[in-house]
């Protein structure tokens, strides 16, 4: 894959994530997050997931199965963190948990299949997968919060 295309694919989900986070109501009321705060959160996640992908690229050749377990735990941690955010804003936590858990497992299975077919860990492609996972998770959280606020 062309490096420029891989970089664009890795960055695009985090831009979409910033837009989605900008729609999430703050805990202080029904106002959405300010755009700069949503962009800062998405940029922080991009940086952290970039470090995550770079480190895993170095470690995967030595312990590929351990890295797969760590990837699953990473996705589980994000689902549970989202559950906390959704639960603080209403009673739709179980809906989010079902959607987020299924999305996390599907994301991990996709990661597993891609990793096995490529025979190596590619950081930019994995960063794109993690970005898509986080974007989808934020949309599920936004949906659950909107349902809770409408009730």
CA–CA separation, 61 and 39 (whole Å): 34
Q: What is the pLDDT of residues 17-26, one digit of tens each?
A: 999 988 887 7
Q: What is the pLDDT of residues 59-69, one digit of tens each?
A: 877 877 788 88
pLDDT value of residue 63: 78
- Domain extents in the chain: 3-150
CA–CA separation, 116 and 119 (whole Å): 5
User: What are the structure tokens assigned to 11, written together?
Assistant: 């960055």
Mean pLDDT of the chain, nearest integer: 88
Query: Does the pTM of the predicted model rise above 0.85?
Result: yes
Average pLDDT in the 2-6 region? 85
- CA-atom Rg of the chain in angstroms: 16
Is a pLDDT exceeding 90 seen at residue 40? yes
Q: If pLDDT is split at 50, 70 and 90, which confidence band does 28 have?
A: low
pLDDT value of residue 29: 65
Q: Are 149 and 32 in contact (CB under 8 A)?
A: no
**Listed range (49-53, 88-92, 141-145) with the worst mean pLDDT:** 88-92
CA within 13 Å, CB half, 55: 10
Q: If pLDDT is split at 50, 70 and 90, which confidence band does 27 have?
A: low
pLDDT value of residue 23: 87
């Amino acid at each position: 894959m062309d490096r420029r295309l891989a970089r664009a694919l890795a960055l695009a989900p985090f831009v979409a994530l910033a837009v989605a986070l900008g729609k999430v109501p703050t805990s202080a009321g029904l106002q959405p997050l300010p755009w700069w705060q949503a962009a800062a959160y998405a940029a922080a996640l991009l940086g952290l997931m970039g470090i995550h992908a770079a480190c895993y690229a170095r470690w995967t050749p030595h312990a590929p199965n351990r890295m797969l377990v760590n990837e699953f735990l990473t996705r589980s941690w994000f689902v549970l963190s989202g559950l906390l955010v959704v639960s603080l804003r209403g009673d739709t936590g179980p809906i989010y948990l079902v959607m987020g858990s299924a999305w996390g497992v599907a994301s991990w299975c996709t990661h597993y299949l891609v990793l096995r077919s490529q025979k190596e860990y590619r950081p930019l492609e994995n960063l794109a997968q993690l970005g898509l996972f986080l974007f989808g998770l934020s949309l599920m959280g936004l949906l659950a919060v909107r349902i809770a606020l409408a009730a």
